[in-house]
Amino acid sequence: SAVISQKPSRDICQRGTSLTIQCQVDSQVTMMFWYRQQPGQSLTLIATANQGSEATYESGFVIDKFPISRPNLTFSTLTVSNMSPEDSSIYLCSVRAGGSTDTQYFGPGTRLTVL
């Protein structure tokens, strides 16, 4: 299994500002993902962040709003830019285990509130 940590665990931000969320994994992983979970909802995939290539964004998410960095196999950042109250969500980092299982593990999440 993989142990994933995220910083910050929660934050309250003002409209129009940006927040960068960090994700650290205790082992090298190829596939890393960022999800959003709006209040009371399920998880929605924002983008896939593989090391050495640009992040791939899902429909409805764009790089200008959610820039992602993946400098190495254990670390990634997600920035939520020019925030509005609609961005208030839990943001989750996730990695997929290698081998034949394809098990996917999640970090503890970052709870973001935008005022």
Partner 1 sequence: SQQGEEDPQALSIQEGENATMNCSYKTSINNLQWYRQNSGRGLVHLILIRSNEREKHSGRLRVTLDTSKKSSSLLITASRAADTASYFCATLNSGTYKYIFGTGTRLKVLA
Handedness of CA 49, 50, 54, 57 (dihedral sign): negative
The tokens describing 17, both together, are: 């500002």
Task: Answer for the pair 93, 6: CB distance below 8 angstroms, yes or no.
Answer: yes
Q: With binding defined as CB under 8 A, does residue 20 bind partner 1? A: no
Name which of 47 and 80 has its Cβ closer to partner 1: 47
DSSP state of 2: -
Name which of 61 and 106 has its Cβ closer to partner 1: 106
Helix H or strand E encompassing 94: strand 89-96
* Interface size with partner 1, residues (CB under 8 A): 21
Residue of 107, 19, 23 lying closest to 69 (CA atoms) = 23
Name the one range near partner 1 by CB under 8 A: 11-19, 63-71, 79-87, 94-102: 94-102
Q: Per CB under 8 A, which of residues 33..62 are in contact with partner 1?
A: 37, 42-45, 48
Residues of this chain that interact with partner 1 (CB under 8 A) are: 1, 4, 37, 42-45, 48, 90, 92, 94, 101-109, 111
